[in-house]
Structure formats: C-alpha cells, structure tokens
Amino acid sequence: MRARAICAENWTRCWRADKGRRSSANAISATTNTSTASGLPPGRHVPVVSGAAVKGPPVALATSVDDARPEAGGGAPRGFGEARPMVWLTGVEGVARILSFGFYLLAARVFEPQDFGVVQYTITVAMLAFGGLQVLATAIVRELGVDRADEARTRAVLGSSIAAAVVLWGATSLLWLIAASAGLGGGTDTLGLLAVLAGTAAFQVYYSIGRGLGDKRRQAASYVGASLAQLIAFGALAALTNPTTTQALLIFGGSSFVPVVIYEWISPVLRGWPLTVSRDVLRRLWLLGAPLLIAQVGYLLWNSLDQLWVHGSLGSYSVGIYASAKNLSQGLIIVPAGITGVLLPRVAQLSSEGRSAAARRVVILGTAGAAGVSAILALMLVVLRVPLLTDLFGSPYAGASDALVAQACGMVCYAAFASLTMAAVGWGRPRVYTAGIAVAAALEAAGFVIFGCRSLLTAGVMYSASIALALVFVLGLLRLRPLWGANG
C-alpha cells in the first residue's frame, strides 16, 4: 500500500555536466531559493559518501534521455517527453499496488474481520510512527533532483540520507517500545509494528533514491519486487498453515528488504562506498525537512484519522470492514504517486536551471493528468463497488460500499492536491504543502470531534470533505502567489 522505487532503463543514460553550465552557483541559487521560500537561511543536505573509486559512470547520474535533449529554440522539453516518465512510474505504481492489494485481499480471506482489523490497524499506526522517516524520504527525492548533474553532491546526498535514516529508524523504534511498555499500543501487534516500521524505512529510502536519480529499474525493482515477495511469502504460508496476525505483519515488513538486498548485490548504488557525514548535506536536508515534518504529520493524520476513529468508536470488526473500502480507494493513489514521483525532482531540476516556462508546463500537465485519470478510475470504482467488495473480500464487506463512494471522491481531490503541492516542494516552496495538508488534517479532526463517527459512511465523508476543502485552500494560496514567481 505504500510506495516502492525504479532505475535507469533503455531510455535512461548518464546526465552530462551540462558542459560545465551547472556550476556551483546554480546549486547555491537553488538552495537559497528554497530556504528563502521556507523563511530559513540558505543551506540544506545530509551524510556524505567520499573517497571510493567507482567503476564506470555512477548510477546516480542516470536520468531520462528527455532531460538531456533540449529542443531547438530555447531548450524547452517536449510535452510528451515530460509525460513519458510519468506514465512509466504510474504503471510501476499500478503493478506494485495490485500485488500489494493481493496481500490485503488474501489477509481478508484468511482472517476474520476482527483479526484483519488488527493487521490493518497495526500498519496504520506504523505509518504514523514512520512520519519522520517519510519526511527524510521526500527530502531525498528533492535534493537528488537538484543535484543530478553533480556527481560529488549526489554521492553526498546518498551517504547522508542513509546515515540519517538509520538514526531516525533507531530513535523511532526505541520510542515505540517505550510507548508499548507503557500500555499505549492498545489494539496493535508490537512485534509486527516494529517489522513494518523497519521494512517501510528500508523501502521508502531506497525507493526515494531511485526516484531522485531518475533510476527507473531501481524504482521498479524495489517497489514491484517488495510487493511480489510479500504476496508470494504470505500466500505460501497461508497454503501450508493457519498464519497469525504477527506472521502476516512480519512478512509485510520483511518483504521490503528482499529487492533492496538483491539489487544492491547486482547493481549497487550504495554498497562499497565509504559513507561519511557532511554537516552541509545534513543541514540542507534538515532545512527542507523541518517544514515538511509538520506536513508529514498532517498527511498521516489526514490519511489515518478515519480508521483510528472507526476503531475507537465502532471497534476492530468495523475497522476490518472499513479497511476493505479503504484498500480499494487507496488504489487510486497510483496515479498521483506515479506522476508526482517524476514531477517533484523534475520541477526542482528545471527551476534550479532557470527554466520556469518548462517547469510550468510540467506542473500543468501533471496536475491535469492526475486529476483527470483519477476521476475516470474513481467513477469505475463507484459503479462496481458492491461486486468488488463482495467478490473480492466476502459478503460481510458489502457494508462498506457507501463509505467507498465518499473515499473515491476524496482520492480524486487528493490527486490534484498532491500534484500541485509536490510541484511547490520541487519549486522550493514546501510550506504550500505543509499548510494544505495541515488544513486537511485539522478539518477532519474537527469534523470527527463535532459530529462523531456514527457510521462507516460518516468516516468516509469526513475523510473526503477535508481534502476537498484543503484543495480549495491550496488553489487560493497559489492564486495569490503563483509558483512561477517563486524563483524570481
């Protein structure tokens, strides 16, 4: 259900240093613009890889052929050239999420709704605990997008990201163990949650590296590979025995390591490079991540409050029923996830090079495409919702059909919201995303406090209405100050 990653294919190749055109002044300019937009001083990065000799051109410099082929008369890239990697990543997201959906579908068939609710609720809480690491993952994509043409900077971001991720993962796991020992983990499986947290950290960091580098195969291998390993392992266990919820969660988390280990053995981008910590890189990552931390908390709350409230008000059985609709509606995130995976680093790259017109076209194309395709898929999901729920999950899950309608509408709004706000992050204005998702979380929480959670439909409506109003809020912000003026 969560993201994974890709690497360079036939249409990828090493990005040249733009014949020396992308000097250190460009990097400083990009950093200053982002920091100024965030109200913070210039500078922002993480731990460094240095000194290792690497055979051949580093994978870190792989990017789209379209990136390296400016058009005549101004260097603006073709619209189709920009759309092609978006379509590719959306396809990868689709395949991976279908495989991941298979895991949830099998779990719903193997377990009773109450036990399925425990699995879903534990994963949901793990995603909340994962907030700090997700912020780091987002910062990695942005920084690698800006520094693609600079081998030394790319290595610095890679090494620093791994060091920061290990520290964050250790701190988060320790805090959760303390919370669980204090009795604050009610309704979750502690061992399973730690496994999900570790696996998600490994996957998200590696996937973000692939996204930031424009490395198609690495992204595809980590995302599709993890989902496939997850489904095969749990399917085999279910065929041989009666699995427990803990075993299901251990497989959910552990599967993420499989493609990372295999791909690093076959085509390493991290293995063999001595990693050192760079204060400059860490500072850049912190300054970009700090405003995004509030945003990540907002996103996790917005995307989880409905399930948390259902669990608190209606119990584990209802969470299991509601989760069936949530898993179907979350399939719609394939489109914005695929598009923003290309959109964010590409906008960062174009804006840092001063190519505002090209960046503007990418934003418009990505946002319109994400919203339009999501709307078509949402309509199909709504029309087929009852047979999908009953045939895939079982007859008890038909009770989530009304909630699914509301959730599907919310995901269409989220597609446009995600495209616009991730473009803003790439343009050096992370506060647009922070403000927007904070509004969504606050509105959803306020709705539940005021109106309560009397039914699954109520939860779905709160979830959908909050992101719709947040989209209106973001449109208002960008109307007052368009992205195209962010970098001067």
Q: Which residues of 272-301 are buried (b: 16+ CB within 10 A; e: fewer)?
A: ebebeebebbbbbbbbbbbbbbbbbbbbbb
The answer to whether 122 touches 407, Cβ cutoff 8 Å, is no
How many residues would you count in the chain?
A: 488
Question: Whose structure tokens read 């399917």?
Answer: 235
User: What is the rounded distance in angstroms from the CA atom of residue 488 to the CA atom of residue 2?
Assistant: 36
Cα angle 83, 85, 88; round to 5: 110
25 burial via Cβ count (<10 Å: 0-12, 13-18, 19+) = exposed
> What pLDDT, on the 0 to 100 scale, is given for residue 33?
35
Q: What are phi and psi of 400, to 5 degrees?
A: -95, 5
Helices (H), 214-333: 216-240, 245-254, 257-266, 279-314, 316-330
User: What is the rounded distance in angstroms from the CA atom of residue 108 to the CA atom of residue 324?
Assistant: 8
Per-residue pLDDT of the chain (488 residues; tens, 9 = 90+): 433 333 333 323 333 333 333 333 333 333 333 333 333 333 322 222 222 222 232 233 333 333 333 333 344 444 445 556 667 666 777 788 788 888 988 998 899 888 888 898 898 888 888 878 888 887 888 777 766 666 677 778 888 888 888 898 999 899 888 888 877 777 788 899 999 999 999 988 888 888 787 777 887 888 888 889 999 999 999 999 999 999 999 999 999 999 999 988 888 888 776 666 678 888 888 887 777 777 778 888 898 899 989 988 888 889 889 989 998 998 898 888 878 877 887 888 888 788 888 888 888 888 998 999 999 999 999 999 999 999 988 888 999 999 999 999 999 999 999 999 988 888 888 889 889 999 999 999 999 999 999 899 999 999 999 999 999 999 999 988 887 755 43
Question: Whose structure tokens read 């001067």?
Answer: 488
The CA-to-CA distance between both ends of the chain, in Å, stands at: 38
The answer to whether 302 touches 90, Cβ cutoff 8 Å, is no
The tokens of 291 are what? 């405003």
The answer to whether 348 touches 146, Cβ cutoff 8 Å, is yes
User: What is the rounded distance in angstroms from the CA atom of residue 234 to the CA atom of residue 247?
Assistant: 8
Question: Whose structure tokens read 């995976």?
Answer: 341
